[in-house]
Amino acid sequence: MNLLQCELPDIKVITPRGLSSRLFFQAYNGPNAIAFAQLSSRSKNFHQRANRYLEESSEDMPGVSYCLKIIEVSHQYRNKGVGSALLDEVIRFCKDERVTSIYGEARGEVDALRRWYQQKGFDLDSVDNIQLPLTA
């Protein structure tokens, strides 16, 4: 467990150990879970991967994108930076693991969410789909 960098002290976060088809991030205040995020993967050109591993450098190999399915913070911990810090942790983890992008859909108070995702570097389209490219 690591400490989550937010306005509240001693919020711990559990991150996944490497990549898998589903990733879960959980934030705790003491023994109580207060926030979580879930991502699911989608491999690019998955059917070509086996043959290409031997032929191409790692820079040319297809990458993995993750769909941000949900990020949720308990009501009493909202507007205290927990969600932002958790999303920052998700982005950092994905960059460290060389994930190519994070995508999803902004649901809820769309205007506030649009601003929040844009502040985190996400692009949004006209129907509130979000995308954050992580590699050039």
Give per-residue pLDDT as tens, 15-56. Answer: 999 999 999 999 999 999 999 999 998 655 443 333 333 333
How many domains does the chain divide into? 1
Closest CA to 116 of 91, 95, 99: 91
Using the predicted structure, report yes or no on whether residue 87 has a pLDDT greater than 90: yes
Q: How many Å from the N-terminal Cα to the C-terminal Cα in the chain?
A: 30
**In terms of Cα–Cα distance, which of 85, 87, 94 is closest to 71?**
87
**Model confidence, pTM:** 0.83
More confident site: 47 or 65: 65
CATH number at residue 22: 3.40.630.30
Percent of the chain with pLDDT over 90: 68
Give the pLDDT confidence score for residue 70 in this predicted structure.
Answer: 95
Beta bridge partners of 103: 67, 131
**Average pLDDT in the 70-96 region?**
96
Q: What is the pLDDT of residue 136?
A: 59
Q: What range does the domain containing 106 cover?
A: 2-133
pLDDT surpasses 90 at 121: yes
Pairing state of beta strands 64-73 and 101-105? parallel
Handedness of CA 53, 55, 56, 58 (dihedral sign): positive
